[in-house]
Amino acid sequence: MTDEIRKIIEAHARLSVDVGTLSENDDLYQAGMTSHASVNVMLALEDHFDVEFPDSMLRRSVFESIAAIASALGELHPEPSA
């Protein structure tokens, strides 16, 4: 999942650095993602993973890192239990 998230960030976040240089916990806003770019990232994540972030998840903290995004997607799309 994190590879897919990285690709989406690379395509839409308009970072000032190469997304490949970021750790999963690096701050995407510090890396150059603007507020409007975060809108495009959100919509692209929704398209790709077929989810919708509810209003309660429209928080800066949800989109601030690859790990945070993965965690949020995990809440929206939990893995089926074995």
Partner 1 sequence: MALRVGIDLVSITSVQESLRLHATRYLQRVFTEAEVRDCQTDNGIDPERLATRFAAKEATLKVLRPSKDDAVPWNTIEVRRDPAGWVRLHLSGSAAALADSTGITELAVSLTREKDFASAVVIAECPIEIDATSR
The yes or no reply on residue 64 touching partner 1 (CB under 8 A) is yes
Choose one: 1-9, 16-24, 60-68, 70-78; the region binding partner 1 (CB under 8 A): 60-68
**Contact between 16 and partner 1 (CB under 8 A)?**
no
Number of residues that bind partner 1 (CB under 8 A): 20
Q: Is 7 in the site for partner 1 (CB under 8 A)?
A: no
In the chain, the amino acid numbered 3 is D
